Amino acid sequence: MLPDHFRTLLAIPVALFCLADQFACAAPETAAEAPVARMPLDEEGRVVSFQRDIVPIFRKHCLECHGPDDAKNDFRIDDPDLVFDYVEAEDAESSTLFVDYLTTDDDDMLMPPRSHGGPLTPAELALVQLWINEGADWPEDAMLDGSGAPLPVDDVASASQLGLVGRVWAFQGFLHPATVHFPIALLLIGALFVVLGWKWPAIGTQVPMACLLIGAATSIVATLMGWSFSVEKGYGSWNRFDFDAEIFWHRWSAVIVTVLSTIFAIIALISVKNESSRLTSVWKIGLLVVAGMVGAVGHQGGEMTYGKDFYPKAFRILLGTPETEEPANPEGPAPEPLDVAVRGT
């Protein structure tokens, strides 16, 4: 056994430690260090808190494609007025957002799309469902902070689950924004030389024919890339027929341009082989028509990418015209369907 004086010396630091611990426990906590009391229900008797439970879901899965930087189909998840066009408070089963987009079996309608980590997890869906059924409370001061949120980590896993052909198909789609400008430029330049050929016949055949042949070939490639890229960007697959969707008309107008340019390219080759002036006139007129369609499709694509005010704003800057604000409509515009198929070329 230890002598009494040794035991006394050992007891001193132990006693000091206990006193310090008791003092720390009894000391008042600062506002920053004090733990927040978690209550099962809020003051209104709701289980789900919008800021705590719903905002992280919207920010992680929705803000990238439906935020202030890139509002697909003019729908913004950070705008409560737009969100409540698709939400029936206290009735999740009648809410378009929940039934037609978050829990649908249709991959073209599913949000977020599978390429972006969709669908939501069961826990996330349960929170959204309960939030709606409890009245879809959205406090005025609640904010979906940030924009351009990073892709969910699940996106990497979903890509790794694709086969080799699927990965190659998805990869080549990313080249669409770069390659789509080749057929646009070539077909427009070819049409320009057809017009110039009326005054200078020497440049009115060979140059536009070369532009037509190369433009038709590259338009096929760009269209295939567009089909893949539209799914990656969350616009839905190309075979979805929705006549109310702007992407439907943009996509199939581009397909028509591709088909027509290919047909006129074949006619051009036949005209050279048969030395037919009549067929030459046919493909030249066809090239002018295709160029006009390319301009219209390109204009629509620009509006879809940068907004409908993109080109008008450019002309306002050129002409020095001040921007005018349209009078507010007290009743508000009728909501358009939130079509996830509106996602790319």
- Domain positions in the chain are 50-160, 164-319
Could you read off the pLDDT of 213-262 as tens digits, one per residue?
999 999 998 888 887 777 666 566 655 666 666 777 777 888 899 999 99
For the ranges 22-31, 215-224, 280-289, the lowest mean pLDDT is seen at 22-31
Could you read off the pLDDT of 55-95 as tens digits, one per residue?
888 888 887 788 776 677 778 887 888 888 889 988 889 88
Write the Ramachandran bin of 7: left for phi over 0, alpha for psi from -120 to 50, otherwise beta. alpha
Of the two residues 153 and 318, the one the predictor is more confident about is 318
Q: Which is nearest to 339 in space by CA: 227, 224, 243? A: 243
Of the two residues 304 and 341, the one the predictor is more confident about is 304
Q: Where are the alpha helices (DSSP H) in the chain?
A: 4-26, 55-61, 80-83, 96, 122-133, 154-160, 164-173, 176-179, 181-197, 206-232, 246-274, 277-306, 310-319
Q: Is the peptide bond before 150 cis (omega within 30 degrees of 0)?
A: no
Whether the CB-CB separation of 95 and 86 falls below 8 Å is answered with yes
Say which amino acid occupies 125: L
**pLDDT of residue 3 exceeding 60:** no
CA distances from 252 to 23, 84, 299 (A): 75, 31, 14
Q: Report the Cα 190 to chain-centroid distance in Å.
A: 33
Q: What is the distance between the alpha carbons of residues 95 and 108, in angstroms, rounded to a whole number? A: 18
Write the Ramachandran bin of 112: left for phi over 0, alpha for psi from -120 to 50, otherwise beta. beta
Burial class (CB within 10 angstroms; exposed 0-12, middle 13-18, buried 19+) of 238: buried
- The phi, psi pair for 239, rounded to 5°, reads -90, 15
